[in-house]
Amino acid sequence: MKKFGIDIILTIINDKVLTKNLEEAQSVARYMTGKKEILKHELHLVLRECAPYLLQQHPQLREINVDEVNEENWDQWHASVARDYGTELPVRPIHH
| Runs of H (alpha helix) within 1-96 | 6-14, 23-33, 40-57, 74-85
Supply the pLDDT for residue 20: 84
Cα(66)–Cα(77) distance, rounded to whole angstroms?
9
Rg from Cα positions in the chain: 13
Of the chain, the percentage scoring pLDDT greater than 90 comes to 90
Residue 96 confidence class, pLDDT cut points 50, 70, 90? low
The single-letter DSSP state of residue 88 is E
Cα(45)–Cα(88) distance, rounded to whole angstroms?
23
In the chain, domain spans: 2-91
Kindly report the average pLDDT of the chain as a whole number: 94
N-terminal to C-terminal alpha carbon distance within the chain: 9
Choice between 96 and 91, residue whose per-residue pLDDT is larger:
91
Cα(35)–Cα(17) distance, rounded to whole angstroms?
23
Supply the pLDDT for residue 22: 83
Average pLDDT over residues 66-81: 95
Asked if 54 and 46 touch (Cβ cutoff 8 Å), the reply is no
pLDDT tens profile 5-50 = 999 999 999 999 998 888 899 999 999 999 999 998 999 999 999 9
Above 90 in pLDDT, residue 51? yes
Supply the pLDDT for residue 72: 95
